[in-house]
Chain A
Amino acid sequence: MSTDVQKTTAKAIPSTRRVTISDSAHMPHDYSTTPGGTLFSTTPGGTRIIYDRKFLLECRSSPVTKTPPKGLPVIPGVTSPPSGDPTEKTQNGELLNNNNIPAPEGSNTGDDSQFEMDI
């Protein structure tokens, strides 16, 4: 990312930015979905795919997440139960690591168990 635009500190999105386009492939596909949408045409680097926390958490309940990815390496205590621990299984799509957080539906609203923050 170039820094020649502005030397501001924590400003929002730069309102003016010159970007040299040398190839049509550098053009974003969509310039104008910002109002009410999630794409910002003036983000440094061009259009971005932006998701907020709440939306990402909602995707957690997708069926595809229930089974381990193919080729997930077996690392005892990390991607599989610690060796010798017979209580948990990774087979049959059972989740092994979510024992201390609420079910995905419960955590969708996000801030339920957030601790407080002081800026």
Chain B
Amino acid sequence: MTQVFFHFAVCFPTKSSLKDDDSGDHDQDQGSPKDSEKEKTEDEDKEQNSSKKKMVVPGAGEHPLQYNYTFWYSRRTPGRPASTQSYEQNIKQIGSFASVEQFWRFYSHMIRPGDLTGHSDFHLFKEGIKPMWEDDANKMGGKWIIRLRKGLASRCWENLILAMLGEQFMVGEEICGAVVSVRFQEDIISIWNKTASDQATTARIRDTLRRVLNLPPNTIMEYKTHTDSIKYVLISYIKTCRIVSV
């Protein structure tokens, strides 16, 4: 109980430092990385970074992306509750990139999700958006979820993130990021967007997913709003909690 309340008391205010503007020029999260393990990999590009807010810029001759993105990795300690407090502590930044080439540089030196062990996730989110429900960019949002039988995650994840990086979804600023979750008997990929109530957007994301993922027949896709996910966690861990418009 205290764990969750502590989380909401602490995390919501700090999120306000995360700007979510529509210019696409997402601020670096300079606010409150409490995670001391957080690695700053953007330093290598600092010298090129004069007045721009972005920490990472495309190198000479590289192909710029519409947005900068950050890779994250998380691994849940078995048996511990999935409260977001421990989630935030378990998540690590791998690094940020601004170009196609920089993306491959990270991707080629990370294990493929299908080869991950245990209860692990890769997250790829726009720079400045934390892969958490409570981030300003996510709190009104939701996600498409696709459950995959074992053996498909690596291929589907690659197709998913290539579509995201290449702006194949055509939903403006709506995409926040993508997640691949390696679980015991299945793997899950999801793509998060900002506005769960925007049905035109969620439908277009779904249709693009079908187009780019090469999903096996009878794959089920479901859309979940983050507020539902938050309520689920609260109900699970605080049985008597009254939810006041999360």
Known: A3-B198, A10-B203, A53-B166. A75 touches B41 (CB 8 A): no
Which of A55, A57, A78, A101 interacts with B73 by CB under 8 Å? A78
Q: Which of B43-58 contact A (CB under 8 A)?
A: 43-44
Residue of A nearest to B24 (CB): A45
Contact between chains at A71 and B43 (CB < 8 Å):
yes
Q: Does B230 contact A (CB under 8 A)?
A: no
Q: Does B207 contact A (CB under 8 A)?
A: yes
Contact between chains at B39 and A51 (CB < 8 Å):
no
Q: How far is the CB of A51 from chain B (nearest CB, A)?
A: 4
Which of A68, A75, A97 interacts with B92 by CB under 8 Å? A75
Known: A53-B162, A97-B111. A69 touches B100 (CB 8 A): no
Contact between chains at B115 and A97 (CB < 8 Å):
yes
Contact between chains at A51 and B100 (CB < 8 Å):
yes
Contact between chains at A60 and B104 (CB < 8 Å):
yes
Contact between chains at A72 and B109 (CB < 8 Å):
yes
Q: How far is the CB of A88 from chain B (nearest CB, A)?
A: 10
Give the B interface residue count (CB, 8 A): 71
Contact between chains at A50 and B166 (CB < 8 Å):
yes
The proximity string for A residues 24-44 relative to B, scoring 1 for CB distances below 8 Å and 0 otherwise, is 001000000000000010011
CB-CB under 8 A from B152, the residues of chain A are: 115
Q: How far is the CB of A54 from chain B (nearest CB, A)?
A: 10
CB-CB under 8 A from B94, the residues of chain A are: 72-73, 75, 78-79
Could you say which of B11-19, B167-175, B234-242 contacts chain A? B167-175
* Complex Cα–Cα for A40 and B120 (A): 37
Known: A10-B207, A59-B63, A67-B105. A79 touches B111 (CB 8 A): yes
Which of B66, B92, B105 interacts with A73 by CB under 8 Å? B92
Contact between chains at A1 and B201 (CB < 8 Å):
yes
Residue of B nearest to A63 (CB): B101
Q: Does A64 contact B (CB under 8 A)?
A: yes
B residues neighboring A (CB under 8 Å)? 22-24, 37, 39-44, 59, 62-66, 73, 92-95, 97, 100-102, 104-106, 108-112, 114-117, 120, 152, 154-155, 159, 162-163, 165-168, 170-174, 194-195, 198-201, 203-204, 207, 210-218
A residues neighboring B (CB under 8 Å)? 1, 3, 6-11, 13, 26, 40, 43-45, 48-53, 55-57, 59-60, 62, 64-73, 75, 77-79, 90, 95-98, 100-101, 111, 113-119
17 contacting pairs across A/B (C-beta < 8 A): A1-B171, A9-B203, A26-B23, A48-B167, A49-B66, A50-B167, A53-B163, A56-B166, A69-B105, A71-B40, A71-B43, A71-B95, A72-B41, A75-B92, A97-B109, A113-B155, A118-B218
